[in-house]
């Protein structure tokens, strides 16, 4: 992971070895949160794999002083051998710490996680307590994120009132001449020409020095900048700067990769949402509500609601196998085709799905899909539906909560000729029909029978005070099935909920 030269060049100075005893590992241990032990702070073993005990003397190492004839060689802590051993021990400690920090950063999967880890690790390396990172890709396509360490939202708001050119991250991101590699301000209040607003904000927030580094894959490709703040006038030493530079160089590459992932994720989510209804239709006698959650790569789950002739309403949900752009595109084609078939022969859901199956088998023979189509007559509260390998709808009312009995059939594209009998049911006034995709069941992590039982319990547990509102019903069922943020978390499974309440 780290590009470390095969030959370690060490310059032995005549300073006491005690001045070199404290490595970055010790600094990181001092800056680690109290009460949270970390393997990084554990003492390192005396023997390190990959380190050869016999290190040849580098060309630029200071030559040992010649021993006078008859005099005993120099021994003790100031002997050249002891100095070299102390220096090598410091290098091993620093490289081990750097390896551990980059490993922790590599395990982050989102931009927020990576930026938080970057701030914590950088603060330990340079000996600071607070800091902030500004993510701002140079191409202007976003995302733009500002995150603080030890700084609240109000503190970041104060910093944003400082002119951009007066802040170190602004000079780095704008490519000013004095921001090529690093920007160190050992004593802000002693600087000539310090911006008055910057002086006021620094005094208000209580920092007196700063150290900033660029983040990116190269000099001309920056994605952001990181700034660490000191409570007192200070600056990192040469050893700390070197390690912080190596770390941020790797962090820049990692952040650039996560930026591309985030852009792809946002693009796929936008594409999937654009292929779904922008708004649900208003049809007399029925109220509609829907929820859709897509995974980071984009999936093939979809829903639809469209007005049909004779004051009827068509409801559909389905799922295409696979994920990613191809699945999203297939989902769009399948939904558009079903809308056309529904307008022509919607009163016969079996015919609609039969035509859809034929189209899928001829145009995309390597793909299968599940689907459910319901032809609703709101004035009569009558529903005729057919399903192809899809989960049965759930009927929710004041007197009953039960799954609709449907015929078992294979998904579309699995058989040479698909056909299954339809089902007709009549809803009571105030009852709600809930359609959904199997992603809702899979995201729970439970077995299928247990997931169905949880869905039934979630629907039965809808408070009576909100049963007249289909939007509140789908929200309650979604949160009951996927609690603790699981409904909004990234997951490979898409989720679709579509509710129709009959008046």
CATH number, position 215: 3.30.450.40
Stretch (H or E) spanning 250: helix 238-275
In a domain, 41, yes or no: no
Q: What's the confidence (pLDDT) of residue 179?
A: 60
Residues 206 and 293 in one domain: no
What's the order of all strands across the beta sheet hosting 423-426?
299-308, 312-323, 369-377, 382-388, 423-426
DSSP state letters, 362-401:
HH-TT--EEEEEEEEETTTTEEEEEEES-PPPEEE-SS-E
Residues 342 and 421 in one domain: yes
In a domain, 345, yes or no: yes
| Chosen domain end from 265, 298, 319 | 265
Contacts 24+ apart (CB under 8 A), 379-382: 379/284, 379/285, 379/311, 380/426, 381/285, 381/426, 381/427, 381/428, 381/429, 381/431, 381/502, 382/424, 382/425, 382/426, 382/427
Q: What's the confidence (pLDDT) of residue 370?
A: 92
Q: How far is CA 386 from CA 134, 336, 343, 374, 501, in A?
A: 53, 18, 16, 7, 19
Residues 115 and 223 in one domain: yes
In a domain, 229, yes or no: yes
Contacts 24+ apart (CB under 8 A), 383-386: 383/424, 383/425, 383/426, 383/427, 383/433, 384/347, 384/349, 384/422, 384/423, 384/424, 385/349, 385/422, 385/423, 385/424, 385/425, 386/349, 386/350, 386/352, 386/353, 386/420, 386/421, 386/422, 386/423
Spatial contact of 40 and 25, defined as CB atoms under 8 Å apart: yes
Q: What's the confidence (pLDDT) of residue 407?
A: 75
340 forms beta bridges with none
Residues 313 and 255 in one domain: no
In a domain, 56, yes or no: no
In a domain, 68, yes or no: no
Enumerate residues 6+ apart whose C-beta is below 8 A from 19. Answer: none
Enumerate residues 6+ apart whose C-beta is below 8 A from 278. Answer: none
423-426 and 401-403 strand pairing: unpaired
- List the beta strands (DSSP E) in 66-149: 130-135, 145-149
401 forms beta bridges with 396
Spatial contact of 259 and 223, defined as CB atoms under 8 Å apart: yes
Residues 109 and 144 in one domain: yes
Residues 304 and 406 in one domain: yes
Tally of domains in the chain = 2
Residues 305 and 443 in one domain: yes
* 416, two tokens: 């040479």
Q: What's the confidence (pLDDT) of residue 235?
A: 93
Residues of the chain below pLDDT 70: 1-80, 177-180, 296, 415-418
Residues 366 and 257 in one domain: no
Q: What's the confidence (pLDDT) of residue 56?
A: 36
* 120, two tokens: 């914590």
150 Cα distance to chain centroid:
22
Stretch (H or E) spanning 354: helix 349-363
In a domain, 64, yes or no: no
In a domain, 348, yes or no: yes
Give the whole-angstrom CA distance, residue 85 versus residue 20: 11
Residues 319 and 256 in one domain: no
Q: What's the confidence (pLDDT) of residue 78?
A: 57
Give pLDDT tens digits for 449-478.
999 999 999 999 999 999 999 999 999 999
Residues 363 and 283 in one domain: yes
State whether residue 288 is helix, strand or coil. strand
Residues 191 and 301 in one domain: no
Q: What's the confidence (pLDDT) of residue 493?
A: 85
Spatial contact of 303 and 290, defined as CB atoms under 8 Å apart: yes
CATH number at residue 453: 3.60.40.10
Q: Which domain holds residue 492?
A: 276-502
Residues 381 and 297 in one domain: yes
| Chosen domain end from 219, 237, 265 | 265
Spatial contact of 204 and 189, defined as CB atoms under 8 Å apart: no
In a domain, 58, yes or no: no
| Chosen domain end from 218, 241, 265 | 265
Spatial contact of 480 and 461, defined as CB atoms under 8 Å apart: yes
């Amino acid at each position: 992971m780290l590009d470390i030269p095969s030959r370690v060049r060490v310059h032995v100075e005549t300073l006491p070895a005690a001045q070199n005893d404290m490595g970055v590992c010790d600094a990181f241990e001092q800056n680690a949160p109290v009460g949270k032990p970390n393997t990084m702070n554990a003492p390192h073993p005396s023997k390190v794999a990959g380190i050869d005990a016999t290190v040849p003397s580098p060309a630029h190492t200071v030559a040992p002083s010649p021993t006078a004839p008859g005099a005993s060689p120099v021994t003790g802590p100031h002997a050249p051998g002891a100095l070299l051993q102390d220096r090598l021990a410091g290098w091993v400690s620093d490289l081990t710490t750097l390896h551990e920090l980059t490993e922790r950063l590599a395990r982050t999967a989102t931009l927020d996680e990576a930026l938080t880890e970057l701030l914590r690790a950088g603060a330990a390396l340079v000996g600071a307590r607070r800091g902030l990172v500004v993510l701002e890709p140079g191409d202007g396509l976003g995302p733009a994120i500002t995150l603080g360490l030890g700084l609240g939202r109000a503190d970041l708001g104060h910093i944003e009132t400082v002119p951009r050119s007066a802040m170190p991250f602004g000079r780095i991101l704008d490519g000013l001449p004095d921001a090529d590699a690093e920007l160190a301000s050992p004593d802000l209040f002693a600087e000539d020409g310090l911006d008055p607003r910057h002086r006021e904000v620094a005094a208000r927030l209580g920092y007196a020095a700063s150290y900033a580094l660029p983040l990116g894959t190269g000099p001309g490709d920056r994605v952001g900048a990181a700034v660490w703040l000191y409570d007192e006038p200070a600056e990192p030493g040469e050893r700390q700067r070197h390690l912080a530079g190596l770390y941020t160089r790797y962090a820049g590459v990692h952040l650039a990769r996560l930026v591309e992932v985030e852009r792809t994720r946002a693009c796929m989510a936008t594409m999937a949402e654009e292929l779904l209804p922008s708004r649900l239709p208003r049809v007399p006698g029925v109220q509609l509500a829907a929820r859709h959650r897509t995974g980071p790569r984009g999936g093939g789950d979809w829903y639809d609601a469209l007005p049909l002739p004779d004051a009827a309403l068509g409801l559909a949900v389905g799922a295409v196998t696979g994920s990613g752009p191809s699945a999203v595109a297939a989902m769009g084609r399948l939904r558009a085709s079903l809308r056309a078939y529904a307008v022509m022969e919607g009163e016969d859901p079996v015919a609609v799905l039969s035509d859809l199956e034929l189209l899928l088998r001829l145009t995309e023979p390597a793909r299968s899909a599940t689907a459910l189509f319901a032809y609703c007559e709101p004035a009569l509260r009558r529903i005729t539906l057919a399903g192809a390998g899809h989960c049965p709808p759930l009927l929710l009312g004041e007197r009953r909560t039960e799954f609709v009995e449907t015929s078992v059939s294979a998904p579309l594209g699995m058989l040479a000729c698909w056909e299954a009998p339809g089902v007709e049911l009549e809803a009571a006034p105030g009852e709600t029909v809930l359609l959904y995709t199997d992603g809702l069941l899979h995201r729970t992590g439970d077995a299928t029978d247990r997931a169905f039982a949880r869905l039934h319990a979630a629907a039965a547990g809808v408070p009576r005070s909100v049963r007249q509102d289909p939007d509140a019903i789908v929200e309650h069922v979604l949160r009951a099935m996927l609690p603790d943020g699981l409904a909004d978390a990234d997951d490979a499974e898409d989720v679709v909920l579509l509710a129709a309440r009959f008046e």
